[in-house]
Amino acid sequence: MISGSSPFDGLPMFASDQDIAVAIVGKKAAGDWLKTRFPAIEKAPGFPKVDPLHGGRPVPLVKLFYDTYLHVPKAGRGMPDGEENEGAWKRSRQKA
């Protein structure tokens, strides 16, 4: 999400598969996605199981699964702010 928000932010800590599907593909596509795609993703390594005590899947773990699946960088590990390469810039100017 470009704005920094996540579609999972509005969900409770444990959510139904329907609610998770809406967060992932939107309300219009959720029903079809649950029937055609969800059975495969549900079996993927790392996708959380339904917690029997809470009756839903743990949303933080679903989000972690998708962050890993989509190779989303962890906070604080994005682009360097420039200080890390400061020496490299000085060296190249000194050679010129």
Give the three-class secondary structure for 15.
Answer: strand
**What distance in Å separates the CA atoms of residue 30 and residue 18, rounded to the nearest whole number?**
7
Averaged over successive runs of 10 residues, the pLDDT of the chain (96 residues) comes to: 73 97 96 96 96 97 93 67 55 57
Looking at residue 85, its pLDDT comes to: 53
The one-letter amino acid code at 7 reads P
Asked if the structure places residue 84 within a domain, the reply is no
Asked if the structure places residue 70 within a domain, the reply is yes
Region of 79 (left: φ > 0; alpha: ψ -120 to 50; beta: rest) is: beta
Q: How many structural domains are present in the chain?
A: 1
Asked if the structure places residue 11 within a domain, the reply is yes
CB atoms within 10 A of CB 50: 14
Asked if the structure places residue 12 within a domain, the reply is yes
Which has the closest alpha carbon to 13: 61, 47, 45?
A: 61
Asked if the structure places residue 8 within a domain, the reply is yes
Asked if the structure places residue 71 within a domain, the reply is yes
Bridge partners, residue 58, by sequence: 14
Give the domain extent around 67: 1-76
Asked if the structure places residue 82 within a domain, the reply is no
Looking at residue 72, its pLDDT comes to: 85
Asked if the structure places residue 1 within a domain, the reply is yes
